[in-house]
Amino acid sequence: MKLTKKRVMNSRIVQSIKNFANSNFVAKIIAGIVIWGVTLIPMWIYLFSRMLVDPIGFWQELALFAIFAIVLGWLQAILLFLGTAITFLLISDEL
């Protein structure tokens, strides 16, 4: 199944975002905040876990960062890419 621009534009999720965002400017702002809130969830997980663990010293900080960079880093990168793409489509009239 090849992912093409036409297939993405015709998906139900994109069409529902389009209908919501075309309603007014405030709706675009709200949709953008929600999109970036979801996009940054892995970072929030890391910060909350860091607060709970409360590492002391360089080596504990490094170990905690390395674990979460490996586990959540790839997910954060994918979500940042998708969040940027969806925000661009939301702001522009490409939808």
Measured distance CA(5)–CA(74) in Å, rounded? 24
Burial string for 45-54 (b: 16+ CB within 10 Å, else e) reads ebeeeeeeee
Count of domains for the chain: 1
Please state which of the ranges 5-9, 30-34, 81-85 shows the lowest mean pLDDT: 5-9
Domain hosting 52: range is 5-91
Burial string for 72-82 (b: 16+ CB within 10 Å, else e) reads beeebeebeee
pTM metric for this prediction: 0.63
Mean pLDDT computed over 73-83: 90
Q: What is the pLDDT of residues 9-52, one digit of tens each?
A: 667 777 777 776 666 777 778 888 898 999 999 989 888 988 89
Angle between helix 25-39 and helix 58-91 axes, rounded to 10 deg: 150
pLDDT over 60 (residue 86): yes
What's the burial of 86, exposed, middle or buried (CB within 10 Å: 0-12/13-18/19+)? Answer: buried
